[in-house]
Structure 1
Amino acid sequence: MKLYIAEKPSLARAIADALPKPHKKQDGYIEVAGGDIVSWCIGHLLEQAEPDSYHDRYKKWNAADLPIVPETWQLKAKTQTRKQLTILKKLIKQADELVNAGDPDREGQLLVDEVIDHAKPTKVKKQNAKRLLVSDLNVGAVKKSLSNLKPNSEFIPLSVSALARARADWLYGMNLTRAYTLAGQKVGFKGVLSVGRVQTPILGLVVRRDLEILNFVPHAFYEVLAHLNPNLDQDINSQTSETFTAKWQPSGACEPYMDDEGRVLHKGLAQNVVSRINDQVGTVLSVDKKQKKQNSPLPYNLSSLQIDAAKAFGMAAKQVLDTCQNLYERHKLITYPRSDNRYLPKDHHKEASQVLAAIKNNQGQEASKVDGANTRLKSKCWNDKKVEAHHGIIPTVKKLQSASLTKDEKCIYQLISRHYLAQFYPEYIYNETQVEIEIAKGKFKTKAKQEVNLGFKVLMGKSELDSEEKLPALIKGQKLLCFKGELIEKQTQPPAHFTDATLLAAMTGIARFVKDPEIKKVLKETDGLGTEATRAGIIELLFKRGFLKRQGKQILATESGIALIQVLPEQVSKPDLTAVWESSLSSIAQKELSYQHFMQPLLQQLSDIIELSKTCDSSAFKSLPEQKPNKKFRRKRKTYKKAS
C-alpha cells in the first residue's frame, strides 16, 4: 500500500481526485482504487516541547537557568490534532511506500518529515520515501505531479533548514522572552515581554521610524527654476509658445551652503541665481536622446502581491494571504500562494491559451485585454533555471461556473491575472530626452519622456507620463530666452509612517536598513526578513501582543513596543543578525552550510544577549500596561508572578 501524506485535508482531497476511483472515505484518510491511501496532517501535528518538559525546575522562570538549551530535542503532539497523528502513525507502519505530499516549501517538507520520523518506520521504508510537489490543485495539474515523484531524500536539506529555523526560533524566543520579562519584573512590570528572532527586528523598524518622525526638525531649502522660450522673439503668451522649465544644478562652489542630499540651504545664494538669469539668453549645451524599454513585471510571489494589494485596496498582509488561500484551496483558481519565486517553468507556457480562457471566463481582466494577448510572446519569466520547489503565483485553467467570489477574492484574482496577462504583451517603449543648458554661467537641466509603445502598460489603465515635462525640439548650441527665474522654497519632510505595503517592502528589501557593507551585500542576495509564508503572521502577532497599532493605513508602535526596543540591545532589535540567519538557512537548504555551523554561533550570541539582559536599564517598563501572553505562554501565567 502506498500512503500519500498531505499537509492539509484540501490538498489530500485534490490528490485523491487525481487517483483511480472508486474512493472510500474513512476516518482520517481516503482509500482509493487498488488499496492506496491518501491521508493528511492538519498543519503541524507536532510542536516543540515546553521547557518544563525537559526539567520541572523550568516551570519557574529564573535567570540562573538561562539559556535553556535542550541536549535532546523533544516534539509533542498537539492536543487538538492528536487523533489525526495517531491515525497517521498507524498508516505509516502499515504502508509499503510513503509519499511526502507537504506544501512545496521548507515548512511543508519538515511538517510531513517530522510525522514520518515520529512514527519510527523502518530504515528502508524511510530511505525509499518519495516526494510529491503540488502547486496547482486542479486534477490535470495534480496528475502531472503524480507522474513526476522524486526521492524524498533529495529534500533532506530543505527539511534540515526548516528544523534549524524552528529550533533557532525556540531558543531565541523562549530564552530572550524569559530574560527580558524577568528584567521587567524587577521594576514591577506584570506580564510577558515577548522577544522573537524576526518579530523584534520588525518592531525595531517601526519604532525607529516613529521616533525619527517624532524628533524630526524641518528646515527650508531652495531650488531655482529657469522658465525658457526657444524662440527669442516670440510672445510667451502666444498660443503657439513652447515654453518649458529647467532646474538649476548647483556647482561644487555651492557645497558649503548645501546639506548631505545636495539641497541648497542658503536663500541668498538661490536669490542671487534668480537675479542673474532673469531676461538672459541661455545656450543648449547638450541634447541626449535615448530610446528605453521596460519589460513587463514578473508574475507575483506572495510579498509582491501583498505589497500591490495594500497599495491598491488597503488590504493587510494577513488579509491577502487568507484570500489567496481561499482562491487556491476552495476555488482552485490560483497556484500555490506562499511562493517566494516569480518565475515559471517553460513547460507551463503550453497551457497559456487555457489559462487566458479561464481569466476571460472568470472576469480576471477585461475580455478585450485578454484578446489582445499574444501567446507567441515569451517574457523572461519562463526560466527553468530560476524555478525551484515552487513558481510564481498565476491563475489556473479552472473556470468558474458562477460569480461566487467575494470582493476581496475578485480583487486579488484580478491582480494575479493582470500580471500573468502582462507576460504576453510587448515591452513598454519610450524616448527619453535630457537637456543641459547654460545661463549666466550656471548649469540647468531638464528631461522629458515621450511614449512610443505602451505595450503591457495598457493593462494598467493609464499613462505614467501625463505629468511629465513636454519639451520642444532642441539642438545643441541653440539659443533660448530665460524670461523668468523662479525661486522655489520647500521644507524638508520627515519619512512617512509605515503602512502594510511599505513595511512588507522593508522586510523584503531589508538590505537598505543595514549599514555594514558586507552584511548589506549578503542581504541583497537573500529574500529579506522572514519568509513569504511567515511575514503576514508575524506582523499580525505584533498587533496581538500590543506592540503595534493601526492609525488609518499607518502602522505605529505602541508605548510598550517603544519601551521594549529601547531596552533591548541593538543586535536584537536590528535586522542585521536575523537577516543573516535567513541567509544561512537558505544555505543549509542549498547544501552549502551544515546545521551545526549554523547553531554553534547562534548559541554563543544567545548567551551574550542573556548576560546583557541582567544589567539592562529596565526603568522604561515601570509604567507600562500589562502585556497579554500569547497562547503558548498563557497556561504558565501564574509562574510569571512567582519568577524572581
Structure 2
Amino acid sequence: MRVVLCEKPSQGKDIAKALGAHQREAGCYGGPGIKVTWGIGHLIEAAPPEVYDEQYRRWALETLPILPQHWQWVVKTQTAVQFKVVRQLLAQATELVIATDADREGEMIARELIEYCGYRGPIQRLWLSALNDASIRKALGALKASHETLPLYHCALARSRADWLIGMNLSRLFTLLGRQAGYEGVLSVGRVQTPTLKLVVDRDREIARFVSLPFWAIDVTLAHAGRSFTANWIPPDGCTDDTGRCLQQPVAQQAADRMRAAGAAQVISVDTERVREGPPLPFDLGTLQEVCSKQLGLDVQETLDIAQSLYETHKATTYPRSDSGYLPESMLADVPAVLEAVLATDPGVRPLIDQLDRTQRSRAWNDGKVTAHHGIIPTLEPATLSTMSEKELAVYRLIRAHYLAQFLPFHEFDRTEARIACGGQSLRAIGKQIVVTGWRQALAAPAPSEDDGEDTQCSQVLPALQANIPCQVRHVALKALKTLPPKPYTQGELVKAMKGIAKLVTDPRLRQKLKETTGIGTEATRANIISGLLARGYLLRKGRAVRASDTAMTLIDAVPPAIADPGTTAIWEQALDMIEAGQMGLDTFVEKQSAWVAQLVQQYRGATLAIRLPQGPHCPLCGAPTRQRSGKTGAFWSCSRYPDCKGTLPISPAKTRRASSGKAGAERTPSRRSH
C-alpha cells in the first residue's frame, strides 16, 4: 500500500483529492491502494530532560549540564490519536511519499516519524510550492528520490539538538541564578532569540544615551515665471557636522538675513538626470512582514498566519515561508495561466491586466537566485475574494501587485537639481517629474525605493530653469531643529534587522555566511521568536514599537557573549552546510555543541546576577507588592505572598484590571521552535 504523509490535514485533503483518494477515514483519506494521512505539525517532539533521568524534573544547579547520550522522542499527548493512525499506516505501507512542507522543518516532521516508527520501505519526496490542484498534479509527476532531501533532515536534526542543549541548560542555569538574585520568572536563553533580544536592548540603550543637538536649516521659497518652488540652504564649511547640518545659529541667522535683504536669486546651474526604476521583486516572507507591518500595521505573526491562510485555505497564493523573492525561469510558461486566474478572481483588475506585457522578463526570473522556495505569487487557479477577511484581502492584493508589476514598464522620472545663489549664499532645489508611471500603477500606494533616498522624498516639480536666469525671493524660513534619536524597532523592522544582522558581525567570513543564510532565524521561525519574546515579557509593545524590558537588559548583560553574538549562528550554519554536503557527521556536530555547553555551564555556575527586579503594581487582593512571573500564557504580575495569596494582574495595563486566582504558571522548558 502506498502512503502519502502530509504535514497538516488541509494539505492531506488537497493532495488526496488530486490522487483520487476520496474516502474519508479516521485520520486519513483512502483510495484504491493508497492512504493519505498527516501530522498536525510535529506529532512527536524531543524528550524533555526528566525522560532521561527523573532527577532533572527539579531545576537545580548541581544537575547541570544535561547532555543526552542517546536522544529520545516522546509522543505529544495532544495529538496522540493522530500519531496512532500514522504509526498504523506506516506499519502497513509498502511505499511512502513524504508530502510535508518543502523545507528543513517539513523534512524533519516526516523523517522523525519514519525513524521513530521504524519504517524501512522505499521513500519518495513530493516537493510543493502551491496547494492548488494543477500544482499538486505537476509535482506528483516529478517526485524526488529520498536521498535528494535526506540531508535537509540531518541539518534540521543537528540544529534542533544543539538548540535543545542551549535552551535546556542555559535557560535553567540563568533562571536559577536569577532566583538567587530574587527574580521569580524564567530567564529563557536561545541561539536565535537571545541575539534578537540584544538587537532591541542595544537600540533602546542607544535611544536612552542619545543627546539631542540643535541645528539650523533654511527653506527659501523662490518664484520664476509665476511658479513657486522651494530651495534649501547649503551651509558653508566650518559650521557643519558630518552630515552637513549647520550647528552655529549666528551663521544661519546671518545667512537668512542676507537672503531676505537680497530679494532676488540667480540660477547657477541646472542638471537633469533620467532615472529608471525596475519593479520590486515578488515577496519573500520577511519582506512581506516588513511591508505589512509598515503599511497595514500587522504584527509579524499575524502576517504569517494570513499568508498561511491564503496558501492553505484560499489556495490564492503560493507557499509563504520562502526566503527568496526570485522565480524559476521554468515558471515563465505559467504566466498566462496565473494572469487568467488573477483576472477570474477579480475582474476589476482587467484595465491593469490589459496593459501588461506578458512576454516581459524582469530580474525576478533568475534560476541562480532561487532557493528551495521561490517568491510568493498568485496561484494558477482562481480564488474567491468574498471568503477572505479584510486583512487577508489586503495582503493578497499586495502579493498580487508585486507579481503584476513584473510585466509593466520601468518607472521613469527626471530628477532635476538646480544650484542657486542668493545674497552670497548657496541654495539647492531638487525636483522630480514623472515621465512613465510604469509598474508603480500596480501598487496601491507608491513606496520609495531604497536607492532613491532624497529623490523620492522630493515631490515638487520645478519650473523651467536654466543657468543665469533670475528668481524672486518670496519667503525665507529659518528653522531651529534638533537631531532625533534612533527610532525604536517595530516588529517589521526587527524582522528586517534579523535578516540583515550580518552588518553587525566583524569577521568577514562569518559576515558573508550570514548574508548567504539571510541572517539569524528563518522565514518560518522569526515571527515565532518575536512572539515568544513578547509572551515572556522580554519585549513590550509600546504602540507599534517594541521595547526591551528591564529583565531583558539584565539577561543580555548576564549571558555569555557568544550566545548573544549573531556570529555564533554563522558558525553553526557553516557546520550545517558541511553536514548537508557530507563533510561532517551529525554526531560530531552534536558532540562539539555538548562540550561547548558544558564549558559555559561550568564557567557561569558561580556567577551572581545584578538583576533589576521589575516593579509591579500592588496585589489587587491583599495590597502586597507583586513580582513578575511566567506562565502558559506569558508573563504576568503575581502576588509576592503566593501561594498564601493568589492574586494576579496582566503585565500590560488594561482599562479594567480584574483580580484572578489560580496557581502561577509552572516552569516551562523552551521548545525547539522558540530557539
Separation in structure 2 between the aligned mates of residue 269 and residue 113 of structure 1, nearest angstrom: 71
Q: 2:64 is matched by which residue type in structure 1?
A: L
Offset at residue 461 of structure 1 (A): 4.2
Deviation at 1:119, TM superposition (A): 2.0
Does 1:565 pair with 2:564?
A: no
**Is the 2:385–2:393 Cα contact (8 Å) retained in structure 1?**
no
Once the two structures are superposed, residues 397-438 of structure 1 have per-residue CA deviations (whole angstroms, 9 ceiling, x without a partner) of 332457221112211111111111111111111122334456
Cα 1:614–1:250 change in 2 (3 A) is farther
1:349 aligns to 2:332 (yes or no)? yes
Structure 2 SS opposite 1:293:
strand
Work out which of the residue numbers 153, 156, 174 in structure 2 matches 1:180. 174
CA pair 410-227 structure 1, distance change in 2 beyond 3 A: closer
Residues 251-307 of structure 1: CA deviation (Å, up to 9, x unaligned): 3xx1xx544444332223334544566629877665443222111111111111111
Residue 495 of structure 1: how far off its partner (Å): 1.6
2:499 pairs with 502, 508, 511, which one?
Answer: 508
Equivalent residue, structure 2, for 1:77: 75
Moved more, 497-506 or 169-178: 497-506
What SS is found at the alignment partner of 2:378? Answer: coil
**Residue 184 (structure 1) shift:** 0.9
SS at 2:97 equivalent = strand
- Greater displacement, 197-206 / 393-402: 393-402
- RMSD of aligned Cα (Å): 3.3
Paired residue type of 2:231: T
User: Using the alignment, how far apart are the partners of 1:473 and 1:75 within structure 2?
Assistant: 74
Secondary structure class of the residue paired with 1:626: strand
Q: Is contact 2:124–2:144 with CA below 8 Å preserved after alignment?
A: yes
Return the letter of the residue paired with 1:568. Answer: V
Q: 1:32 to 1:555 in 2, by over 3 A?
A: same
Could you report, residue by residue, the CA deviation over 1:337-359 in whole angstroms, capped at 9, with x for unpaired residues? Answer: 11112122223233323322332
Pair 1:471–1:581, CA change in 2 (3 A): farther
Amino acid at match of 1:511: A
Given the superposition, is the C-alpha separation of residues 636 and 415 from structure 1 closer, same or farther in structure 2, using an over 3 Å criterion?
closer
1:503 Cα offset (Å): 1.8
The match for 2:203 is 209
Partner Cα distance (2:489, 2:54) in 1: 43
Code of the residue aligned with 2:628 in structure 1: it is E
SS at 2:321 equivalent: coil
Give the AA of the match of 1:452. Answer: V
Q: CA deviation at 1:44?
A: 0.8
Structure 1 CA distance for aligned equivalents of residues 198 and 331 of structure 2: 41
SS in 1 for 2:65: coil
SS for the counterpart of 1:44 is coil
Amino acid in structure 1 at the alignment position of 2:250: G
State the one-letter code of the partner of 2:245: R
Is 1:380 aligned to 2:374, yes or no? no
Aligned 8 A contact 2:632 2:665 in 1: no
The 3 A distance-change label for structure 1 pair 385 and 439 is same
2:252 corresponds to which residue?
Answer: 270
| 1:564-603 C-alpha deviation (Å, 9 max, x unpaired) | 2343344433544335545654665566766467556644
Aligned-residue sequence identity (percent) comes to 36
Q: Which moved more, 1:565-574 or 1:496-505?
A: 565-574
Rounded Cα–Cα distance in structure 1 between residues aligned with 2:614 and 2:316? 51
1:105 Cα deviation from its structure 2 partner: 0.9
- In structure 1, the residue matched to 2:521 is 530
By how many angstroms is 1:247 displaced?
3.3
1:245 aligns to what? 231
Tell me the equivalent position of 1:150: 144
Q: Give 1:419's aligned residue.
A: 402
Q: Residue 114 of structure 2 aligns with which residue?
A: 116
Deviation at 1:226, TM superposition (A): 5.7
Does structure 2 conserve the Cα–Cα contact (< 8 Å) formed by 1:222 and 1:270? Answer: yes
2:44 to 31, 43, 46: 46
Ranked by relative contact order (alpha carbons within 8 Å, sequence separation 6 or more), the top structure is 1
* Equivalent in the alignment of 2:59: 61
User: Which deviations, in whole Å up to 9, do the C-alpha atoms of 1:195-229 show, x marking residues without a partner?
Assistant: 12212222222223223323332120123456656
Q: Which amino acid aligns with 1:407?
A: E
Amino acid paired to 1:433: T
Moved more, 630-639 or 365-374: 630-639
Q: Deviations over 1:304-341 (max 9, x none)?
A: 11111122221111111112222221221111111112
Match of 1:456 in 2: 439
Cα gap change, 1:241 to 1:402, in 2 (>3 Å): closer
Match of 1:470 in 2: 461
Residues 406 and 224 (structure 1), Cα distance of their counterparts in 2 relative to 1, 3 Å cut = closer
How many angstroms does 1:177 deviate by? 0.6
Q: Check whether the contact 1:365–1:418 (CA below 8 A) recurs between aligned residues.
A: no
Q: Is the 8 Å Cα contact of residues 279 and 483 (structure 1) preserved in structure 2?
A: no
- 1:161: Cα distance to partner? 1.6
SS in structure 2 at match of 1:530: coil
Residues 596 and 206 of structure 1, relative CA distance in 2, 3 Å threshold: same
Question: In structure 2, what residue type is equivalent to 1:495?
Answer: P
Q: Provide closer, same or farther for how the CA distance between residues 272 and 376 of structure 1 changes in structure 2, counting only shifts above 3 A.
A: same
* Residue type of the alignment partner of 1:628: S
Give the alignment's TM-score, normalised by structure 2.
0.83
TM-score by length of 1: 0.87
Matches within 5 A, 1:13-52: 13-20=13-20, 23-33=22-32, 35-52=33-50
Q: Specify the alignment match of 2:391 in structure 1.
A: 408
Aligned mates of 2:104, 2:89 — CA distance in 1: 24
Match of 2:3 in 1: 3
Alignment of 1:544-559 (within 5 A): 544-559=535-550
CA distance 1:407–1:244, change in 2 (3 Å) = closer
Of the structure 1 ranges 3-12 and 202-211, higher mean CA displacement relative to structure 2 is found in 202-211
Structure 1: state its 5+ residue gaps: 231-238
Shift of 1:57: 2.8
